[in-house]
Structure 1
Amino acid sequence: MNQTIETLLEHRSIRAFENKPLTEEQIYTIVRSAQAASTSSYIQAYSIIGVKDEMKKKKLAELAGNQSYVEKNGHFFVFCADYNRHHEAANLHNIDVTETTESTEKFMVGLIDASLAAQNATIAAESMGLGICYIGGLRNSLSEVSKLLNLPSKVIPLFGLCVGYPEQTPVKKPRLPMRNVYHVDEYEPNKQAFINGLKEYDETISSYYEERTQGQRKAGWTSLMANKLANPVRTYMKEFLQKKGFPLK
């Protein structure tokens, strides 16, 4: 096993960081690593906003659901799907690309490109001994986040990434059994085997939470997911996307 694989397998979300900012060299390396990620057809449909202003970080922490580590970390990145630059590029050649950038396909390209870049950034950061935590809570209030970061039309914030020097070493959270994730040649045809894998995982997660919470929490994964997905959240998303220039045709 090489060092890169060890870094990947040791990943865990960090929610407490030392009061120590990243250096400009570290930020540069992380962003350059993000840019080295694969991108669909060379489109590079994303932008990264580095947030240093303490007041903005404080506000983003509030918008994300009062998550203190959004404010207190070494550096905070916001990953965005971005077709603003593509419209500007097309304008230079008097070409209209609106129909293409408003398609569901290109919207998915923006999401995928940004996610690939973010994961590269994560691996780069963790390889330097830093910790990270993804922040999906920014999607609680995307209009406010967009205004705070002065994002133009065709640019939408997707998630944040806290990076910094870890002040904790949490226990790794167990992942699903491989047989419930990796299928060979076709989706698992044996439903009972699939269900058995989920039940086995329930026992693993129940033990994990019971130990971590001193018996205060014992729910398995299937129960957690069923209850989490029973009530839709962020139902304003479609309307927000339309206002930002993504009608998803």
Structure 2
Amino acid sequence: MINQLKERRTIRQYLDKEIDDSLLNELLETAFRAPTTGNMQVYSVVVTRQQENKERLAPAHFNQPTVTQAPVVLTFCADFNRFVKWCELNHAQPGYDNFQSFVTAAIDALLVAQQFCTAAELSGLGCCYLGTTTYNAPQIAEALHLPRLVIPITTLTVGYPAHTPAQVDRLPIEAIVHHESYRDYSPEDIQRLYAYKESLPENQQFIAENHKETLAQVFTDIRYTRENNELFSKIYLDFIVKQGFKLPE
């Protein structure tokens, strides 16, 4: 199992083969055994199988082909709607329309998503996380009819792999693990820890194709710009408030 986990890959292309309801439900039930704050399970998962509904979601995910080609699309949501209604029906006064509660539910949703992803991959399926979920949350919420106190957090496309792509690089363990306390990085540390990533032919190609001097510039100037980060930050924060969560003043 450890070797399988270490060999995992993101799969964006799938065979034209449906996932049985029994398998999907088993994987979801396995995911729901993930840790959850206070055993509240403040998350929900929207399963999208119908092609017309996948096509409705696709623009919010920048029309990535994996959305419409995957047999199943799963949208994992932070969800205090259900828990609040349970409290109110049982003469309890919920105080969960705040940023702390949103973060709690978002963490729960991500834990469930990753446990599903792991179980699915161990069962022979492939998955792809879509980071676009937080970029265009309002459109996703409209397509899925999400009510108050429900926020989309992440999306997985799921299916049987049509190919086995090469594994992408990872930083060495020493770049990430800090023993006992955080040890900050010197310039020499940074150069050493990122040297392998920067040397890879595919990353050298990114630099050349984008007419940049360094791989870091590809990230800051092309892939994840300040302008886009600030734009999508405002969209997401405004949507969180619209859905009923109050941000700290």
TM-score of the pair, normalised by structure 2 = 0.88
**CA shift at 1:103, angstroms?**
2.6
How far apart are the structure 1 equivalents of 2:135 and 2:56?
A: 13
Q: Which of 86, 94, 97 lines up with 2:83 in the alignment? A: 86
Which shifted more, 77-86 or 171-180?
171-180
Secondary structure in structure 2 of the residue aligned to 1:81: strand
How far apart are the structure 1 equivalents of 2:68 and 2:213?
A: 30
Alignment of 1:5-24 (within 5 A): 5-24=2-21
After superposition, the Cα gap between the structure-2 partners of 1:112 and 1:219, relative to the gap in structure 1 and judged at 3 Å, is: farther
Query: Does 2:39 align with 1:36?
Result: no
User: Which residue of 2 is the match for residue 209 of structure 1?
Assistant: 203
How far apart are the structure 2 equivalents of 1:219 and 1:176?
A: 21
Which shifted more, 25-34 or 225-234?
225-234
- The answer (yes or no) to whether the contact 2:171–2:194 under 8 Å persists in 1 is no
Secondary structure in structure 2 of the residue aligned to 1:79: strand
**CA shift at 1:193, angstroms?**
4.6
Secondary structure in structure 2 of the residue aligned to 1:47: strand
User: Which residue of 2 is the match for residue 74 of structure 1?
Assistant: 71
- Runs of 4+ aligned structure 1 residues displaced above 6 Å come to none
- The answer (yes or no) to whether the contact 1:60–1:138 under 8 Å persists in 2 is no
User: Which residue of 2 is the match for residue 243 of structure 1?
Assistant: 242
User: Which residue of 2 is the match for residue 166 of structure 1?
Assistant: 161
**CA shift at 1:158, angstroms?**
1.3
**Gaps in structure 2 of 5+ consecutive residues:** none
How far apart are the structure 1 equivalents of 2:78 and 2:45?
A: 9
CA RMSD in angstroms, aligned pairs only? 2.1
User: Which residue of 2 is the match for residue 230 of structure 1?
Assistant: 226
**CA shift at 1:144, angstroms?**
2.1
Q: Which of 157, 171, 178 lines up with 1:183 in the alignment? A: 178
Equivalent residue letter for 1:81: A
How far apart are the structure 1 equivalents of 2:193 and 2:99?
A: 32
Listed one character per residue, the Cα deviations across residues 67-92 of structure 1 (whole Å, up to 9, x for unaligned) are 11111112111100000011111111
TM-score of the pair, normalised by structure 1 = 0.88
